[in-house]
Amino acid sequence: MLGVGRTRTAVRCCAVLALVAAGTAGCSSSGGSSDGAKGTTLKLITGVKSDPFYITMACAAQEEAKKQGVKLTVDGSAQWDVAVQRPIVDSVGATRPDGLLISPVDTTALTPSLARLQGAGTKVVLVDTTVSDASIGVSRISSDNEAGGRTAAKALAELMGDKGSAIVISVKPGVSTTDARIKGFTEEMKANHPAITLLPVLYDNDLPATAASQIQATLAAHPDLGGVFAGNTNTAQGVATGLQAAGRQGTVKVAAFDAEPDEVTALKNGTLDILVAQDPAGIGVQGVDQALAAIGKKPVTAQIGTTMVAITKANLDDPAVAKYIYRAAC
């Protein structure tokens, strides 16, 4: 998101990204034919049920399931916590659904529960986040998060004039998507923007209030702070709040992942400068289709990458870009 008066080159570097992984062609909704699907049950367990990213994913998945003539029910964690999500997974496992779409909140801790589900015959599709065990999931569907991190770094470095210090604030270690974003961001900064000093990564446990406190403390300790990379929606909200409280909005440049309504408001008022938006709706649709393909013993695509776009103040009203803004309700 580029504020008023940003350079045209900065806008160009934030052009729409076509980060679709090889092999996604042929993974359209035709893969989940409703033939013989009557009576099929699908479950979706999202990462955080109140997060607009997951709300958008769930809405699209429900619409696709209805289109395919199957029943899909949605549940999700109240917060990003294994201790909260694991009982939901185990409860769903007891019902033995035909298919489970899940965004695991940890790369390892939920593997035993998911392995039991698979062993009982449920077709598991990992949506957005993944687990380290490659045997889990008939399909994995997510954004190219490393590429998104690199894009955020390039755009942020340009806005910072390739100088000063920058910091990453993210959720917590051990989350596949945000770990990949940090990796891409850090590698790009170190390789191509050596004059920018990277401060140690901070983790806010997905709590906006914590992120707000962290950014204010960082500003006090590092007055030359020129840029922030916020790893997800809640972190971006907290960073925006903290910068406003410190009177530094606009002077500290912010690249943030996701495009939920509050982030878009912050983009418009200049508190955030660029949003790397994912396609949660596309992930939800593909999740349903791949689950139904597996249940129907049809070809399944093991890895699917969905499109991402960079949203700036300059392109926000472009219909081709605006469609990626997340929904707060179905």
Average pLDDT over residues 269-278: 90
pLDDT at residue 20, rounded to an integer: 35
Dihedral sign for Cα 310, 321, 178, 213, please: positive
Phi, psi of 166 (to 5 degrees): -140, 155
Quick check: do 8-17+145-277 and 29-143+280-305 share a fold?
yes
Q: What is the mean pLDDT of the chain?
A: 87
Average pLDDT over residues 112-131: 94
CA dist 235 and 245 (Å) reads 15
All structural domains of the chain with their residue ranges: 8-17+145-277, 29-143+280-305
Confidence class for position 2, pLDDT limits 50, 70, 90? very low
62: which 2 tokens? 């429900």
Strand extents, DSSP E, 26-98: 41-46, 71-76
Among the ranges 141-150, 279-288, 317-326, which has the highest mean pLDDT value? Answer: 279-288
CATH architecture of 8-17+145-277: 3-Layer(aba) Sandwich (3.40)
Among 3.30.70.1070, 3.40.50.2300, 2.60.40.1930, 1.10.10.10, name the CATH number for the domain at 29-143+280-305.
3.40.50.2300
At 160-213, the pLDDT tens digits run 999 999 999 999 998 888 999 999 999 999 999 999 999 999 999 989 999 999
Element (H, E) at 161: none
How many C-beta atoms surround the C-beta of residue 132 within 10 A? Answer: 11
Strand extents, DSSP E, the chain: 41-46, 71-76, 99-102, 123-127, 139-143, 164-170, 196-198, 202-203, 225-230, 253-257, 274-277, 303-306, 309-311
Pick the range with the lowest mean pLDDT from 15-29, 79-93, 311-325.
15-29
pLDDT at 34 over 60: no
Q: Indicate the DSSP class of residue 249.
A: B
pLDDT at 3 over 80: no
At 240-261, the pLDDT tens digits run 999 999 999 889 999 999 898 8
CA dist 80 and 96 (Å) reads 24
Phi, psi of 297 (to 5 degrees): 60, 40
- How much is the pTM? 0.74
pLDDT at residue 37, rounded to an integer: 63
